Chains A and B, each alone.
Chain A
Amino acid sequence: MLSVLLIVIAAIFFTGIIIRAKSLASGRKGPLIMQPVLDVIRLFRKGAVYSETTSFVFQIAPTIYFSSVVMAMLVVPFGQSRGVLSFNGDFIFFAYVLALGKFFSIIAAMDTGSSFEGMGASREALYSMFAEPAFFILMGSLALLSGHTSFQEIFAALHIGSQISYALAALATFVLLMIAMIESSRMPIDDPKTHLELTMIHEVMILDNSGFDLGLIFTAGYLKFAIYGALIVNLFIGVIPYEYAIPSFFAIQFVMAVSIGLIESFMARFRMSHNPQFIVALTSVSLLIFFGVLLILQKFM
């Protein structure tokens, strides 16, 4: 239960902090930290407009996308306390329930019949497909290291002791952060500020959504960031008592949001053809994590 509460609180501020960091870095004052949430509340008060060429798929897709993200949020633990759902192999559930939501947003984009949206959908599918092995090799090697197969047990059993495990934790943080950037379509892969349909990935998929549906999609995006942030926090706070763990949760989320804002201010988006190789490089790095885990376990000497 605790993790759900913390993730929701973090999600409220996360995107606002990113936008504020970007504004300050470019010398502007920036909107309120709460502005993204206020936008979503405004959208929730509106009704949705549906194009005549779309079918029922387009109408149910945002709801399914949002609920898949909420389901994924339920399995994320916080240190010693388990998530609402916790069972063996729940990291596989986590990955595929997110994939289900993504699948529905992809076919909803195809359903509109717009050529731009189909193009964006195909790109999004490609990048998620490349990011999937990285996540599974990473979680698999963590499972191998701790000898358990559910999120809570894996994170509770992780002990960062020797020098090589520091290196592995750093690499795992990097891989998880980059997967978070890919899944929520942020800067090195996708530019959320772009105004040209040809260069969009995620934004072009939701061009036809309006009102309530758009609000749901935005909320799911905010939650997704906080979920991946919570996973990164979990790597470090294994057995720390709550009075230190909860402040460090917010501190790490804050640092993550500020660093994403700074990355987005000072980096250009990759060329579209460079994206796949960057994402596959994550898989290679997580293979090295697997190799390091074999070294720690003395399976390879």
Chain B
Amino acid sequence: MIHVLLITFLITLFYMAIANRLMTYIKVLALQGVLLFFVVFIQLNEINTLNLVLIMLETIVFKSLAVPLFLSHLLKRNNITREAEPFLPNFVSLVITTFIVVITILISNTIKDDKLDKIFFVVALSTLFFGLYLIATRRKIITHVMGYMVIENGVFVLSLAIGNEMPMLVNLGIMLDIFASVLILGIFLNKIGDVFKDVSVDQLSNLKDY
């Protein structure tokens, strides 16, 4: 069952690579949160109430409710147009994403380590790289937040790959990270949206000290 969920997770990455609209990105992020919750839930050895509450807080509440709602609120408030406007055509994105997945499979095939769960490692690594790719190739600042969320999901899966139980400290750290980054970038974006009409990465290069 975990394998099925993780393969679905990889398919969501492909879908994200060819999606056109920002709302689709947000919906896919919410879906990824739900998928991660089920992966962790099946992975748990014993039901520890505190641990379960923490994980639910992180995956369901944060990743698939709070952050998507906040992001869609940002979209509406700043009148951001609904297309993602990538620098490269979607077709190239899809081919590159496929190559990322293939290369991570090849890389992880060379690692000989019994403690490492390979399929988790593949999913984690390709999610990390795809997040970086998403940040690098999209024109709008809000897609940076989304790419960051994707990277965060990758780190989450990676922490599952190493031990079969999530260390609480890592958990708290990731949660704080998401909270801080989304909040800060969101407020930052709001401020930019108030000052300038259009929010694009290109205009950031005009910022300079006088």
Residues of A246-301 whose CB lies within 8 A of B: 274, 276-278, 280-281, 283-285, 287-288, 291-292, 295, 300-301
Minimum C-beta distance from A96 to chain B (A) = 24
Q: A84 on the interface (CB 8 Å rule)?
A: no
Q: How far is the CA of A128 from the CA of B7 in the complex (A)?
A: 26
Q: Cβ of A53 < 8 Å from any Cβ of B? A: no
Cβ-closest chain B residue relative to A277: B91
A129 at the interface (CB under 8 A from B): no
Measured in the bound complex, the distance between the Cα atoms of B8 and A97 in whole Å is 34
Check B62 for interface membership: any CB of A closer than 8 A: no
Kindly state the interface size class of chain A when it binds its partner: 20 to 34
**Complex Cα spacing A163 to B3, Å:** 9
Judge whether A1 is part of the interface by a CB distance below 8 angstroms. no
B contacts with A, residue count (CB < 8 A): 24
Are B118 and A301 interface neighbours, CB within 8 A? yes
CA distance A301 to B89 in the complex (A): 35
Q: Is the CB of B94 within 8 A of A284?
A: yes
Q: Which residue of B lies closest to A130 (CB)?
A: B91
* Number of inter-chain CB pairs below 8 Å: 56
A167 contacts partner chain B, Cβ-Cβ < 8 Å: yes
Select which of A163, A280, A285 is within 8 A of B11 by beta carbon: A285
Give every chain A residue within 8 A of B90 (Cβ-Cβ). Answer: 274, 277
Considering the complex, give the chain A residue whose CB is closest to the CB of B13.
A284
Please pick, from B10, B95, B109, the residue contacting A280 in the complex, using a CB distance under 8 A: B95
Chain B residue nearest to A289 (CB atoms) is: B7
How near does chain B come to A159, taking the closest CB pair, in angstroms? 17
1/0 per residue B40-51: CB within 8 Å of A?
Answer: 000000000000
Closest-CB distance, A185 to chain B (whole angstroms): 20
Which chain A residues border B119 with CB–CB below 8 Å? 295, 300
In the assembled complex, B136 has its CB within 8 A of some CB on chain A: no
Q: How far is the CB of A145 from chain B (nearest CB, A)?
A: 14
Contact: B105 with A291, CB < 8 Å? yes
Identify which of residues 97-130 in chain B touch chain A, using a CB-to-CB cut-off of 8 Å: 97-98, 101-102, 105, 109, 118-119, 122
CB B155 to nearest CB in A, in angstroms, measures 22
Within 8 Å by CB of A287, from B8, B102, B118, lies B102
The residue on B at minimum CB distance from A170 is: B4
When distances are taken between beta carbons in the complex, the residues of chain B under 8 Å from A171 are: 7
Q: For window 10-33 of chain B, which residues contact chain A by CB distance below 8 Å? A: 10-11, 14-15, 18
User: Is B3 in contact with A287, judged by CB distance below 8 angstroms?
Assistant: no
Determine whether the beta carbon of A292 is less than 8 Å from that of B11.
no
Known: A287-B101, A291-B105, A300-B118. A281 touches B14 (CB 8 A): yes
> Are B101 and A284 in touch, CB under 8 angstroms?
yes
With A163-B1, A284-B101 in contact, is A277–B94 under 8 Å at CB? yes
Which residue of chain B lies nearest to A280 when distances are taken between CB atoms in the complex? B94
Query: B3, A281: Cβ atoms under 8 Å?
Result: no
Chain B residue contacts of A291, Cβ below 8 A: 7, 101, 105, 122
Contact A284:B109 (CB < 8 A) given known A164-B3, A291-B7, A295-B3: no
Cα A89 to Cα B7 with chains together (Å): 29
* Contact (Cβ within 8 A) A285 B14: yes
Report chain A residues within 8 Å CB of B89. Answer: 277
Docked complex Cα distance between A300 and B122 (Å): 11
The answer to whether A288 and B10 touch (CB under 8 A), given A277-B90, A277-B91, is: yes
Query: Complex formed: what's the CA distance from A287 to B101 in Å?
Result: 9
Q: Which residues of A contact B8 (CB under 8 A)?
A: 167
Q: Looking at the assembled complex, report how far the CB atom of A288 sits from the nearest CB atom of chain B, in whole angstroms.
A: 6
Give the complex CA separation of A100 and B98 in angstroms. 29
Query: Residues of A contacting B1 with CB < 8 Å?
Result: 163
B positions within 8 Å CB-CB of A: 1, 3-4, 7-8, 10-11, 14-15, 18, 89-91, 94-95, 97-98, 101-102, 105, 109, 118-119, 122
22 A-B residue pairings within 8 Å (CB atoms): A163-B1, A163-B4, A277-B90, A277-B91, A280-B94, A280-B95, A284-B14, A284-B94, A284-B97, A284-B101, A285-B11, A285-B14, A287-B98, A287-B102, A288-B10, A288-B101, A291-B7, A291-B101, A291-B105, A292-B3, A300-B105, A300-B119
Other than the given A281-B94, A284-B14, A288-B10, 16 more pairs (CB < 8 A) read A163-B4, A167-B3, A171-B7, A274-B90, A280-B91, A281-B15, A281-B18, A283-B98, A285-B14, A287-B101, A288-B7, A288-B101, A291-B105, A291-B122, A292-B3, A301-B118
In the complex, the 9 A-B pairs of residues with the closest C-beta atoms, listed nearest first? A167-B4, A277-B91, A284-B98, A164-B3, A284-B14, A277-B18, A277-B90, A163-B1, A277-B94
